[in-house]
Amino acid sequence: MTFFKKIGPAPIFAWLLLLVVSCFYAVTAIRFPMLFIWATYEDLFGEWMQVWCIVFTLVLSVRLASTRWRFRWFFALLSLACFYVAMEEISWGQRLIGFSSPEYFKANNLQNETNIHNFLTGPYGTTLKATLSYGLGAALAIYGLVYPLLLRLRVRAAGAIERLGLAAPPLYLWPYFLIAAYLETGPFRFNEGEIAELLVGIALMFTAVHYRAVRRAATQPNGHGQDPSDSDSNLVGIPTGRPALHMVIAMVMVLVLAAGTTIAVCSSPAGKNRINRRVYRGMEKFAGRYIRFEQYEAAAGLYHLALKRSPDKVSLVRRLATCYQGMGDEKRFGELLQKSLELDMARLEVKPKSTTTHRSLARTYRLMGNSETADELLRIAEKIGKRRLKKNRNSASAAYSLGKTYAMQERHGEALKSLSRAYKLNPTSRSYRKAYYRAKKKVPQD
């Protein structure tokens, strides 16, 4: 009991909350993939928790910036940063109101949304995105652990920086920053960047709560008139103001508001349709990620859910087949591949010159082990694609289709050339942009 009294209620609550959050995401990622999607995808519960943490940090920072003390400019800058981040998270109201992105954003934003950060980062890997992720991870580790630790050790350089007005987070919050720094680098490629953002949001909110409590304690009649900036122990050690209760209240309000906002977004027909489309794409995307980790049962469950919405989507049937192959069910694997062939052959009868269908059939035959038929189908698709592009050299869709065929033939240089052409002809297409960046990664750069 003495041990817990010595530590204080605020650190204990912060650590218990971190344990709960970490266990929640770990368990849902492994056992409850749909819940994990709802906890990490845009416009859903997890992201609204991030937004409300930032909003509470903004409100507290504005109040701290309005007082005359050493850290007022730090909290003024933090409040501006929080305003920017909160508005970026909701794409400046686009996903709430539903307005269309301006043409410039459609052409240059990696997610076609009205925000700034997706000019630099998006749903697929780039060198710039990796650089920014590692840079941000390093910054979080330095600010959340190294800086407050150096203050605790009374290192002169750190003290000088603190006297200039850079407020350090309480040292007990270092696990939030360090885990977020690690997740920000995307070690699992499992949407863990969203978890990192939530942890940073909570840590910043608790930091603002901490300084609010310290400031109020210093101005109380029994606070000895001490300016909290005069004592490092008040800043990085156990908080004088005992802000644990305020931390609990803030976290409960974040949970309630996040749930309420998610329900409100889903209650409108437009919002519900948008969420359903996003969750559907999430099911496909996460199923592929589960396959990468050989979690075939989880992937199969997601593909079954996706097929309820699109029962004749051949790519889903084929991917579900690979799950059963991974689980050792060769009979079900063969049945699903046969179903894929039947669906594509029916489409080919209607559109015999469909390069998409030829490529889909080639994928199925490859899974069946029939490489000769697959290669022949790709040669047919290539001939059709070349004729189509020759007739209309300014067709972005024709260039894209031919590029996809080259990519399946592992002719990566030619694929990049065609996909680059499609992207230049129609820079607002997310599909063309995504295919271009993927092809670019497979071609050695000079």
Give the per-residue pLDDT at 3: 52
Q: How far apart are CA 321 and CA 17, in angstroms?
A: 40
**Residue 235 has which token pair?**
């800043």
Is 392 domain-assigned? no
| 29 and 176 inside one domain | yes
**Closest Cα to residue 173, out of 55, 51, 25, 18?**
18
Q: Of 206, 222, 88, give the one whose Cα is nearest residue 144.
A: 206
Where a domain ends, among 283, 300, 328? Answer: 328
Tell me what pLDDT residue 91 has. 75
In terms of domains, do 200 and 279 share one? no
Tell me how far apart the 2 most distant CA atoms of the chain are, in Å. 87
Q: Quick one: 218 and 255 in the same domain?
A: yes
Residue 384 lies in a domain: no
pLDDT at position 401 is 96
Structure confidence at residue 110 (pLDDT): 62
Answer for the pair 180, 154: CB distance below 8 angstroms, yes or no. no
* Residue 172 DSSP symbol: G
Residue 400 lies in a domain: no
How high is the pLDDT of residue 129? 75
Residue 165 domain-assigned? yes
Give yes or no: residues 229 and 324 share one domain: no
Domain boundary among 224, 247, 267: 267
pLDDT at 238: 41
**Amino acid letter, 141:** A
Are 162 and 279 found together in one domain?
no
Query: 238 near 7, Cβ under 8 Å?
Result: yes
Tell me: do 70 and 94 sit in the same domain. yes
Helices (H), 153-268: 156-163, 174-184, 192-219, 232-236, 244-267
Same domain, 314 and 255: no
Q: How many CA atoms within 13 Å lie on the side-chain side of 343?
A: 18
Task: Assess whether 101 and 242 both reside in one domain.
Answer: yes
How far apart are alpha carbons 317 and 303 in whole angstroms? Answer: 8
Q: Taking the CA atoms of 428, 359, 343 and 294 in sequence, report the sign of the dihedral they define.
A: negative
> How far is residue 46's CA from residue 436's CA, in Å, rounded to a whole number?
30
- Please tell me the predicted confidence (pLDDT) of residue 233: 38
Would you say residue 347 lies in a domain? no
- Tell me whether residue 371 is in a domain: no
Inside any domain, residue 399:
no
Q: Which of 215, 232, 267 is the last residue of a domain?
A: 267
Kindly state the tokens that stand for 308.
């309820």
Distances (CA, A) of 386 to 374, 378, 392: 18, 12, 10
Sign of the torsion angle spanned by Cα atoms 277, 279, 282, 287 = negative
Rounded distance between C-alpha atoms, residue 250 and residue 212, angstroms: 13
Structural domain of 296:
269-328
In this structure, the answer to whether residues 188 and 311 fall within a common structural domain is no
- State the total domains in the chain: 2
101 and 199 part of one domain: yes
Could you read off the pLDDT tens digit of each residue along the chain, which spans 446 residues? 555 566 788 999 999 999 999 999 999 999 999 999 999 987 789 999 999 999 999 999 999 999 888 899 999 999 999 999 988 877 767 666 666 767 666 666 666 676 666 665 666 566 777 888 899 999 999 999 999 999 999 999 999 999 999 999 999 999 999 999 999 998 888 889 999 999 999 999 999 999 998 787 766 655 444 444 444 334 444 444 468 899 999 999 999 999 999 998 888 888 888 888 889 988 999 999 999 999 999 999 999 999 999 999 999 999 999 999 999 999 999 999 999 999 999 999 999 999 999 999 999 999 999 999 999 999 999 999 999 999 999 999 999 999 999 999 999 999 999 999 999 999 888 889 889 988 988 887 65
**Statement to judge: residues 27 and 89 lie in one domain:** yes
Q: Clarify whether residues 119 and 199 are in a common domain.
A: yes
The answer as to whether 360 is a domain residue is: no
Q: What local confidence, expressed as pLDDT, does residue 272 receive?
A: 87
Find all residues with CB under 8 Å of 252, minimum gap 6, and list them: none
Please tell me the pTM assigned to this model: 0.86
The encoded tokens of residue 392 equal: 């209309």
CA dihedral 265, 269, 270, 276 (to 10 degrees): 80
